[in-house]
A and B are shown apart, each in its own frame.
Chain A
Amino acid sequence: MRITIKTMGQLRGLQSEGQSSVTLELHPGSTVADALRAVGVPDNEPWNASIAGQLVYAEYPLEEGDSLLVFAPIAGGCQSA
């Protein structure tokens, strides 16, 4: 299945500043954690992610066409990254 990962800001592993987007081909049944592993985010790297505005977590099952937004965890008025 095909999904899109959009990053916002800086997240170790994704090596991006600002916004960037990548489209991925994943096995059916893949989770958010699988997708982030596939693009090189280290397992010990904390993140927040959302699909259509709803926060999702590591074991959330992705579906064809999902657009995943990933960003450094929001911790108060700043981010931990």
Chain B
Amino acid sequence: MMRGFAGKILRVDLTSRTIQVDQPDEEFYRTYLGGAGFVSYYLLKEVPRGIDAFDPQNKLIFALGPMTGLAMPGATRNCVGAKSPLSGGYSKSEGGGFFPMALKKAGYDAVIVEGKAGRPVYLLVTDQKVEIRDAAHLWGKTVLETQDAIAAELGEKTIRTAAIGPAGENLVRYACIMNDLKDAVGRGGLGAVMGSKNLKAVAAGGRWNPEVADPARIRQLTTMMNKGFADNPLGFAKNLHERGTGGAAMMLAGNEIGNLPSYNFGVNYFEGTAKVTANAVLDTYGVGMEACAACGVRCKKVVEISEPWNVNRRSGGPEYESLVALGPLCGVDDLASVTKANELANLYGLDSISLGVSIGFGMECFENGILTVRDTGGIELKFGSAEAMLQMVEMITHRRGVGDLLAEGTKRAAEKLERGADAFAMHVKGVEIPMHEPRVKQGLGLIYAVEAQGADHCAGMHDTGYTMNSPAFEHLRGMGATRPLPANDLSDEKVASQKASHLWNLFLDSVVCCQFVPWSVDELVEIVRAATGWSYTTYEAVRLGERIATLGRLFNLREGITSTQDNLPKRMFGPTRAGALKNGGIDPEKFRHAVRAFYAMMGWEEETGVPTRGKMLELGIGWAADP
């Protein structure tokens, strides 16, 4: 019997209402490990070429890893993948909470959903049974209402849900899947794929526990991290424990150096920054901090507001991405409005990054006369208007008026509007850019451009954190990082370090482990060994990362997404209107050189980014040469 895994992958066809269990061999598990590895394999192997993301043949894959289900910090996380309705290509995203642990306790390593139900359903997965259940009464409900209704219906305390809200039902292209109430599997529009299948939720639970090879070592590492994270040499968990992401010092310093995306990346300096930091949130509306299952870091803010409107403490407080995307990016400094918009994103199931960037895009179009009050139904969609920002959240969710346009994401909205609107569309491959400025963190900008799923801030090294020798940099040396370099460096050595970081993140996404728990490379490899009993090595972790990135690229190439889309918006190659980047911008020549260098280092053709046959054979994915 395999250790660390259930050894079972559940397949559900919603069209035929058939349920099947696969039991792949151990070689498959060791090759793809879990999470992102499973997602990459199944997407390329099984999703038919050229289908629309909302075609019933698209597959929605909920994947766990060898760490999932263990009572360890950072271990309650899953990866979900599908063909993306935003990019039309490869997409995966991760989320935490309690649902991933519950799914493992049901006794499965992954759930692959295909087809489309004739009417709304939810899927019940436990260690006793798998059922496709009616969800007509849940359609139109928020994530919170859905979770509470399912809990009441089932009356089983071990059950946890991953659900969509009205945004997913309405096929908002950046709808997310919410694990429990506040942990978003956020990027790429996976909630819309779920909505297209008439699948309202997956409810999972059970009392099955994975057997691990070395339980004493697992306990030892768990105790070490829970007791020592505050003094961990990688050194960021103490900040997360105190206030989560978005601390005032970080945001104010970011504002000074142009790293705080403001006014749709047009200025990157925001006067009201101090009003929308994590410190401001906790000082004004905070009622505590809380954690995902079994994690001592406890990085999640709990907030409550009664005036001017109600924000339910169960809905979760805003993280850095939400604070900036719904705040400075839209020119909004009203903390209550930003906190409310974050709650609505969680209740309606919207990716707060793409949501904020789409609203910011709309505001810039409005200020440039591309959208008018006739388009907006009389709303003055101007930067700085908290009222307009909140109105857009509602209109996008329900696809009302101009919200129907902005629900398409910035790329499609710009194509429909024409008249130069594409200059204001801040996306890579259709996926909106997160709240980390690629003109400051230029190596991360490279990763935004070359990774398969579009701009993702969790896929590369945040250059500002790695400019000096430090435990954080030393850690990345374990995956192949070269030497500390300036944040705006795009040399071959920086590209090599970014590649190392990218592979590390893909390994994390396969284990599946949270980036906010400061496990070192050696420790995480040891966790895989202790869970599975394999003599797993860092070399295998590096190869796994390359395998996943290469499979993602092959998926995109098959769907017609070529190296021409490995780029950043034109705005990133020029200065902002004011602020620290008013003389800045990425050098396009250096950037193209870095893209080619990345391809070469990955074993892809330097000019085209097409993986070479030799690399595919080396990675054991020769089958992918003609999928």
Contacts and interface: CB of A to CB of B under 8 A. Distances in A.
Nearest to B237: A78
Given A48-B253, A48-B464, A69-B253, A80 B258 contact: no
A78 B248 CA distance: 9
B224 to A, nearest CB: 19
B464 A75 contact: yes
A9 B580 contact: no
Contacts of A52: 580
Interface residues of A, number: 27
A58 B246 CA distance: 26
Interface in B218-258: 234-236, 238-240, 244-250, 252-254, 256-258
Interface in B568-590: 579-581
Interface in B243-283: 244-250, 252-254, 256-259
B436 A76 contact: yes
Given A50-B257, A53-B257, A53-B579, A76 B245 contact: yes
Given A55-B440, A57-B467, A77 B252 contact: no
Contact of A55 (B321, B436, B466, B486): B486
Query: In this complex, which of A8, A52, A55, A71 has the most chain B Cβ atoms within 10 angstroms of its Cβ?
Result: A55
B470 A46 contact: yes
Interface of B: 234-236, 238-240, 244-250, 252-254, 256-259, 319-321, 435-436, 440, 457, 462, 464-470, 472, 486-488, 515, 579-581
Contacts of A10: 249
Given A74-B465, A76-B462, A77-B320, A8 B249 contact: yes
A77 B203 CA distance: 31
Nearest to A70: B253
17 contacts: A8-B253, A9-B247, A46-B469, A50-B256, A52-B580, A53-B258, A54-B580, A55-B257, A72-B250, A73-B467, A74-B250, A74-B465, A77-B250, A78-B245, A79-B239, A80-B234, A81-B236
Contacts of B259: 74
B303 to A, nearest CB: 17
A48 B470 CA distance: 12
Given A46-B470, A74-B254, A74-B465, A80 B236 contact: yes
B236 A53 contact: no
Contacts of B240: 78
Nearest to B238: A81
Nearest to B299: A78
A62 to B, nearest CB: 17
Nearest to A58: B468
B468 A71 contact: no
Query: In this complex, which of A9, A50, A53, A72 has the most chain B Cβ atoms within 10 angstroms of its Cβ?
Result: A53
A81 B235 contact: yes
B501 to A, nearest CB: 11
Contacts of B488: 55
A54 to B, nearest CB: 7
Contacts of A80: 234-236, 239, 465, 470, 472
Contacts of B470: 44, 46, 73, 80
Given A57-B467, A80-B470, A9 B236 contact: no
Closest 5 CB pairs between A and B?
Answer: A9-B249, A53-B580, A75-B465, A77-B320, A77-B245
B468 A77 contact: no
Contacts of A81: 235-236, 238-239
Contacts of B515: 76
Given A55-B467, A55-B488, A74-B253, 8 more contacts: A48-B257, A48-B464, A50-B257, A53-B257, A75-B464, A75-B472, A76-B245, A81-B236
Contact of A46 (B248, B435, B468): B468
Interface string A24-56: 000000000000000000001011101011110
A79 B436 CA distance: 13
Given A53-B580, A55-B486, A72 B257 contact: no
Contact of A77 (B246, B248, B256): B246
B257 A73 contact: no
Given A54-B580, A55-B440, A74 B462 contact: yes
